[in-house]
Amino acid sequence: MTEFDPEKFEDKYANYFPELQRAYKSAFETMNDQYDSELVHAIDQQILNESEPFYEDGDFRIELPENPTERLTAIVVDDEKLSAVLDTYVEELREQHRRVFELDD
């Protein structure tokens, strides 16, 4: 793997597309193993499909689309459960980005 360069991450899709795909796939698999697969799939397809990873101040941040919980229409789930699983999923994505780019603590 090429060494991670924060400046190159500004054009992440041109420079790091395979790594980004690997991070999202690994996060999906981890979440799918631990949570309701229908909910994980819905979050992946209806919320995270328009998320955006950023590298700032030495760490990754995942920006979600506006009103993420309102985007979920594929299944019925209470807001509290959705928020909890979504928060966990976002943290898993951040961890997978750190792992893929070999930036683990």
Quick check: 2 pLDDT over 70? no
Percent of the chain at pLDDT above 70?
Answer: 97
Q: In angstroms, rounded to a whole number, what is the distance separating the alpha carbons of residues 10 and 69?
A: 27
CA atoms within a 13 Å half-sphere pointing along the CA-CB vector of 39: 18
Helix ranges, 1-105 (H): 12-15, 17-34, 37-46, 68-71, 79-100
pLDDT tens digits along 7-54: 999 999 999 999 999 999 999 999 999 999 999 999 999 999 999 999
